[in-house]
């Protein structure tokens, strides 16, 4: 059954939830109102009327939407027509084209033309299926220096149209995959599937055992336009089920060994005879996985890159030069063609090396004499030289956008030295993480510095604020200091786990969770009974009477159900396999924190109302309740990654490790082309740059964090 009807009623459910919360608040005010006399009682009466009116409006709105949905739910959902399928494919094709055209602009993949890298069917027979299963006659991709259009024609000539792109780091696997996607889209006939590039790191085969289920879920998440009501129900699922999508899975080598082998086995289990596929992986990792599962990828052609000839590299670089280049460039190109600069020939034999030369010498239009000098030395020295120049070249060539945000220009001004130092620090931290040296998560920043100093300073600040507030309210310095000390100790103890927690998000989805909601109500009744017992025991000593005990029971039960249990109910971890971007997980955890704080303040107001029942002064009851509620809201839940980030980054900034706006910097490094995103993670776009920074540079003269 599709989740679409539940998605359509999401706003109605949210309206009902809001209405119930407001109704609960109005009930609490109604209970507390008779206990307050004079001016404050009038204000409480007004608040009660407003809260009641708002709750009625919210409940009414939800009821109307639910009734509308109920009338329509009996009618069966209409199946997508052929016209709907065609329209959806056209929409998806346009979205994918725009997405990867932007990427090619960012990486200069097709300016002025695609890099002329030669590819050949692998000579390692253990890596591919029987030739007669792969293609009619001889296997395609004979190793000629073909254009990307010829590569697309060769792919279409395969029996099952399945292709594995192998190669060493920096040989252009992802580049070829992107170029193939764009070429297949450009020449796609209406009956052909739409190629969609997906990251292997996002497939969790425990959640989606079948390839088709994962592809459909990815389409629904990455291209929400496919969920438009006019296209009919379940368009992503329908497109995948009918074979209208060609998955292009990039980066199989970035998965752990066992997961990589499981994914290859799952691909073979998932695909029928007509299913198409393109897959990229490093050669060594693919060979290991093939050996582990004891099988190849069924009916897939396997190709590997061949070194680009010096003449082809020189021709490509010459095409990238301006009409009137620097006078040294002809000598550089002549040395490259003649083979008198062996290091330069070796570096430019790969797509990564060509891009480095272009980014560091052609784009900024600087004197290329060092290419001649270092080109006669070792390739390792030339690579290091190009990486040393890369960050200053990219930062200088792409100044911040003055107006609206642009995808390939940063939004803030950073100096090349700052970018270099901060990325060097991050590369060093990644190198120390043996379990996963590539993924850079924003919540991992809290683990890059000792948490004890951060916790102590946070506890001191909160303790001082609480002590001053209670001293001013009660005019009892000793009592204020005592409460402040207790608050500080609680903070030191309770926030220790924040710095290792993963991000979360608020999930108000009701489907499949109604039983948990009933448990919340049950627990509320238990807490309410406990509140009644405590209130009864307090009745005579505090003089609140049996009516006060009843009020305490109601407030306790409402507070527990509407705040504590509901927070635990809505709070969910954010799986890395389904997260859309680092910024989205950062915002989701921040929003979850805001919800907890608001919930804590509601608890504080209820505590204040109980304080009024106990005849505390109005200011002490309300302000004290709000302060305690704020602390309570901060401590609630199991996901405090955003709070840990906000506490840690200032410490890293004072030591020069990262800027105070760390997320803005990471986003800008992505726009500069230095980082890429992988679900909720940032990664260095080129692992070689990460290794160079970690190996060659000192972290900072200030020492460790």
Give the domain CATH number at 220.
3.40.50
Q: 294 and 172, same structural domain?
A: yes
Q: 216 and 106, same structural domain?
A: yes
β-bridge partners, 246: 195
Q: Could you tell me the pLDDT band of residue 244, with boundaries at 50, 70 and 90? A: very high
Last residue of a domain, which of 238, 273, 304? Answer: 304
Q: Is the peptide bond before 587 cis (omega within 30 degrees of 0)?
A: no
Looking at the domain assignment, is residue 261 inside a domain?
A: yes
Average pLDDT, whole number, for the chain? 76
Looking at the domain assignment, is residue 151 inside a domain?
A: yes
Contact between 58 and 8 under an 8 Å Cβ cutoff? The reply is no
Q: 113 and 68, same structural domain?
A: no
Q: 284 and 157, same structural domain?
A: yes
Q: Which of 284-293, 579-588, 616-625, 648-657 has the lowest mean pLDDT?
A: 616-625
Q: Domain tally for the chain?
A: 4
- 37-69, pLDDT tens digit by residue? 444 443 344 344 344 444 444 444 555 555 555
Say what the pLDDT of residue 54 is.
41
Q: 88 and 52, same structural domain?
A: no
What's the average model confidence in pLDDT over 19-33? 49
For residues 660-673, b (16+ Cβ closer than 10 Å) or e, as one string? eebbebbbbbbbbb
Top mean pLDDT of 36-50, 306-320, 540-554, 565-579 is at: 306-320
Orientation angle between helical segments 211-222 and 257-270, nearest 10 degrees? 100
Per the listing, tokens 């599962």 go with 293
439 torsion bin: left (phi>0), alpha (psi -120 to 50), beta (else): beta
Domain limits for position 391: 310-397
What's the average model confidence in pLDDT over 96-110? 69
Q: 185 and 91, same structural domain?
A: yes
Checking if the pLDDT of 233 tops 70, the result is no
Looking at the domain assignment, is residue 469 inside a domain?
A: no
- Rounded CA-CA distance 466/482 in Å is 10
And the tokens for 288?
């290991």
Q: 530 and 392, same structural domain?
A: no
Looking at the domain assignment, is residue 644 inside a domain?
A: no
Say what the pLDDT of residue 153 is.
87
Please tell me what DSSP assigns to residue 659. Answer: -
Looking at the domain assignment, is residue 222 inside a domain?
A: yes
Q: 317 and 261, same structural domain?
A: no
Checking if the pLDDT of 312 tops 80, the result is yes
Say what the pLDDT of residue 436 is.
65
What's the average model confidence in pLDDT over 204-222? 83
- 261-281, pLDDT tens digit by residue? 888 888 888 888 788 999 999
- 481-527, pLDDT tens digit by residue? 887 887 788 777 777 778 888 888 887 666 655 666 566 666 656 66
pTM attached to this predicted model: 0.67
Q: Which of 91-105, 190-204, 333-347, 572-586 has the lowest mean pLDDT?
A: 572-586
Looking at the domain assignment, is residue 581 inside a domain?
A: yes
Q: 173 and 295, same structural domain?
A: yes
Q: Could you tell me the pLDDT band of residue 543, with boundaries at 50, 70 and 90? A: very low
And the tokens for 335?
């040395």
- Give the DSSP H or E segment for 382: helix 379-397
In 31-86, the DSSP E strands lie at none
Q: 383 and 524, same structural domain?
A: no
Last residue of a domain, which of 24, 50, 73? Answer: 73
Looking at the domain assignment, is residue 653 inside a domain?
A: no
Checking if the pLDDT of 165 tops 90, the result is yes
Burial status of residue 583 (CB atoms within 10 A of its CB: 0-12, 13-18, 19 or more): middle
Checking if the pLDDT of 376 tops 70, the result is yes
Contact between 545 and 512 under an 8 Å Cβ cutoff? The reply is no
Output 574 or 364, whichever has higher pLDDT.
364
Looking at the domain assignment, is residue 589 inside a domain?
A: yes
Q: 512 and 567, same structural domain?
A: yes
Cα distances from 376 to residues 54, 343, 344, in angstroms, run: 78, 6, 7
Checking if the pLDDT of 193 tops 50, the result is yes
Q: Which of 97-106, 221-230, 393-402, 638-647 has the lowest mean pLDDT?
A: 97-106
Last residue of a domain, which of 612, 639, 666? Answer: 639
Q: 238 and 95, same structural domain?
A: yes
């Amino acid at each position: 059954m599709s989740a679409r009807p539940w998605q359509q009623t999401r706003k109605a459910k949210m309206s009902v939830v809001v209405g119930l919360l407001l109704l609960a608040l109005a009930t609490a005010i109604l209970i507390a109102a008779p206990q307050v006399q004079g001016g404050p009682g009038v204000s409480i009466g007004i608040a009660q009327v407003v809260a009641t009116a708002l709750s009625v409006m919210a409940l009414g709105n939800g009821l109307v939407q639910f009734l509308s949905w109920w009338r329509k739910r009996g009618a069966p959902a209409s199946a997508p027509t052929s016209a709907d399928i065609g329209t959806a494919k056209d929409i998806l094709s346009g979205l994918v084209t725009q997405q990867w055209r932007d990427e090619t602009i960012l990486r200069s993949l097709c300016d002025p033309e695609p890099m002329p890298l030669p590819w050949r069917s692998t000579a390692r027979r253990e890596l591919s299926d029987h030739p007669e299963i792969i293609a009619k006659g001889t296997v395609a991709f004979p190793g000629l220096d073909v254009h990307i259009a010829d590569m697309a024609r060769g792919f279409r000539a395969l029996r099952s149209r399945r292709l594995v792109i192998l190669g060493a780091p920096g040989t252009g696997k992802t580049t070829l995959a992107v170029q193939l996607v764009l070429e297949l889209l450009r020449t796609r006939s209406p009956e052909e599937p739409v190629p969609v590039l997906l990251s292997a790191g996002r497939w969790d085969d425990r959640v989606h055992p079948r390839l088709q289920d994962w592809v459909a879920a990815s389409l629904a998440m990455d291209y929400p336009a496919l969920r438009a009501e006019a296209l009919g129900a379940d368009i992503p699922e329908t497109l995948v089920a009918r074979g209208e999508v060609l998955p292009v899975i990039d980066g199989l080598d970035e998965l752990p060994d066992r997961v990589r082998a499981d994914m290859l086995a799952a691909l073979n289990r998932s695909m029928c005879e007509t299913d198409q596929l393109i897959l990229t992986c490093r050669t060594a990792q693919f060979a290991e996985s093939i050996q582990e599962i004891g099988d190849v990828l069924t009916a897939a052609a396997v190709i590997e890159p061949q070194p680009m000839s010096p003449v082809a590299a020189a021709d490509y670089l010459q095409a990238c030069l301006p009409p009137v280049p620097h006078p040294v460039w002809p000598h550089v190109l002549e040395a490259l063609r003649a083979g008198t600069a062996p290091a330069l020939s070796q570096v430019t034999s790969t797509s990564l090396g060509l891009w480095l030369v272009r980014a560091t010498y052609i784009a900024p239009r600087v004197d290329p004499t060092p290419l001649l000098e270092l080109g006669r030395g070792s390739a390792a020295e030339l690579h290091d030289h190009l990486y040393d120049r890369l960050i200053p070249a990219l930062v200088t060539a792409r100044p911040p956008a003055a107006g609206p945000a642009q995808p390939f220009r940063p939004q803030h001004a950073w100096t090349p030295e700052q970018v270099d130092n901060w990325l060097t620090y991050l590369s060093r931290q990644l190198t120390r993480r043996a379990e996963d040296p590539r993924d850079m998560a924003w919540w991992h920043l809290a683990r890059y510095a000792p948490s004890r100093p951060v916790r102590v300073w946070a506890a001191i600040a909160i303790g001082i604020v609480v002590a001053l507030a209670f001293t001013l309210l009660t005019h009892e310095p000793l009592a204020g200091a005592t409460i402040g000390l207790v608050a500080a100790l609680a903070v030191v103890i309770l926030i220790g786990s924040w710095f290792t927690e993963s991000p979360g998000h608020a999930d108000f989805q009701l489907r499949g969770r109604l039983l948990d909601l009933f448990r919340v109500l049950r627990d509320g009744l238990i807490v309410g009974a406990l509140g009644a017992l405590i209130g009864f025991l307090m009745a005579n000593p505090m003089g609140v009477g049996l009516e006060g005990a009843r009020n305490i029971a109601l407030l306790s039960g409402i507070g527990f159900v509407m705040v504590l249990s509901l927070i635990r109910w809505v709070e969910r971890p954010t799986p890395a396999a389904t997260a859309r971007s680092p910024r989205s997980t950062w915002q989701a955890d921040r929003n979850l924190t805001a919800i907890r704080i608001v919930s804590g303040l509601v608890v504080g107001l209820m505590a204040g109302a109980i304080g009024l029942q106990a005849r505390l002064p109005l200011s002490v009851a309300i302000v004290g309740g709000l302060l305690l509620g704020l602390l309570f809201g901060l401590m609630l839940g199991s996901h405090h990654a955003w709070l840990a980030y906000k506490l840690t980054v200032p410490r890293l900034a004072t030591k020069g490790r990262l800027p105070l706006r760390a997320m803005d910097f990471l986003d800008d490094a992505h726009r500069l082309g230095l980082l890429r995103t992988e679900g909720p993670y940032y990664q260095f776009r080129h692992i070689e740059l990460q290794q160079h920074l970690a190996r060659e540079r000192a972290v900072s003269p200030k020492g460790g964090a």
